[in-house]
Structure 1
Amino acid sequence: MLFAVDIGNTNIVAAIFDGDKIAVQWRIATDSRRTGDEYTSILLTLCREAGIQTKFLDKSIISSVVPALIGPFVIVCQHLCGKSPFILSSDLAYSGRLPVRLDSSSPHTNIGTDLLCNAVSAWNLFEGKGPVIAVDFGTALTLTVADSSGIIRGVTISPGLGTAIKALATNAAQLPFVSLEAPSSSLGMNTETAIQAGVVLGYKGLVEYLVRQVKADLEKLTGDKAETVKVVATGGLNKVLKPITDVFTVVDKDLTIRGLKIISDLVL
């Protein structure tokens, strides 16, 4: 059984795979102050409550965008699996071992390991048939683009929906935190609906524009026709925009962690 960990800026997703199936999955708040022993205690408790016998965990893999937590989770994996984990690096995208890759003619290109997982998983979702865009609604809103030959052609990064709401509430004395819901109109009649109109509807426009622009730029660069591009949404906040846009081909809430599983099958 595989223990896979995706360490994000806001949440840590830990999953146990039994074959290709996610046997259990947890979402834990990211806290770089916690030690490896603390996270080990948390995960052992969660495993026990889920009826998971850790003696069957024989391999592990980590993707992290929080460098300070790699060490603590190496300790977690050593406790749970009895050996050190495979730590994903963007360098693997140059190795030729993955179904998608970074262009070797541009050796200074870099990509976050979470985005590499998204690209691998989105590519696999459509069995390598055509170009893909993975849209991840996390702390940051990211679009990761792979062309029809599997080359990762670029990424866009914007503040995430929650980050935008937090920035307003933190930096403006009279603007509160509001729920992330689509308002019935773009004409906000109070502070709450005005913020929802600006942020939620604004991000709808942002995502739709970026998808159109990325498709156009990809066609210019590679010849991949815009209508052939598949768009996969993931991340906890995709549900905010999903009801009000038709830009997504499919939504897969487990895209990133499944990408880790696919990569583990290829490298472990």
Structure 2
Amino acid sequence: MLISPWAIVLPPSLWILVVTLVALLAGAAALHALGRIGLSGLSAWLCRAPGLDLVILYFTVLPLIVGPIVGVRSARADPDGSAPDWLAAGMGLLAAVVAQILTVMLWTVAHELAHREARRGPRIVHQLNRTVGRFRNHTAVWWTAWAVPLFALVRLAEYFVYPPLVWLVRFPRYNQGEWVNVSRHKFRGLVGHDLIWCLYCDWMTGVWSLGTEMLRNVESFWCPIRFDSTKKCENCRVDFPDLDGGWVAASGEMSDVVATLDAHYTPTSTNAWFGHPARLTVEGKPTGESRAD
């Protein structure tokens, strides 16, 4: 059995950390280089779904999958190893996460050094440090990274759960790139720490908003009934406008629900939520309908 020289010098978890760190930093450098080598078109494509999904997959998801797999395989290949699979997988995952954190930190330093003038100017991070304290601000913003896998799963659902509903019950199609894209890197003076976290917010806000838009179709189609809780209705009406735009009162009858469905959906209609732009008309003519890429 052949054993990599790296495995002799470094323990498996450290080897995973180093390789992941190098791969992520190389990926970041490649993204920065695209515009400088005449590939601005590719750079723009990678800022918008589906290209952006590949970037997110590379930097956030793949390390969390590959790390545990390599950890287990390395432990099993070690003739003297006695670590159980769960421990080897956990160490591989930990090494990958540490590599991701180090990548963000090293990239932040490098990017701020490359933009010294902006670094010395007005900064979001400096203002928030003064508002809540440096330790609290940095701890809190890093704590939000726990949600990254959640947003990745939401994005996965947008790819594989919603599209069959378009075919099965004629829900509206969406140009997902209109939601899932990033552009804050174009904002003048946004560098380093501020930039990386603003890009995170840029991505996750689009993912979450698209998911909400899809859920509006689901709710209004299968259960257009207001909640019995007045407070819940107040809390949800922003994300689900049909609450005040057509859903049946909680005190209503099933005949009211059937009548509502009959009024909004036909055997040939696009079955969108009641306030969807496809239902809006100007002089009786539709203003337009979202289209797929």
Q: Please state which band the TM-score falls in when normalised by the shorter chain.
A: under 0.3
Higher Rg? 2
The structure with the greater share of residues assigned to helix is: 2
- What is the TM-score of this pair, normalised by structure 1? 0.26
Which protein has the bigger strand share? Answer: 1
TM-score, length basis structure 2: 0.24
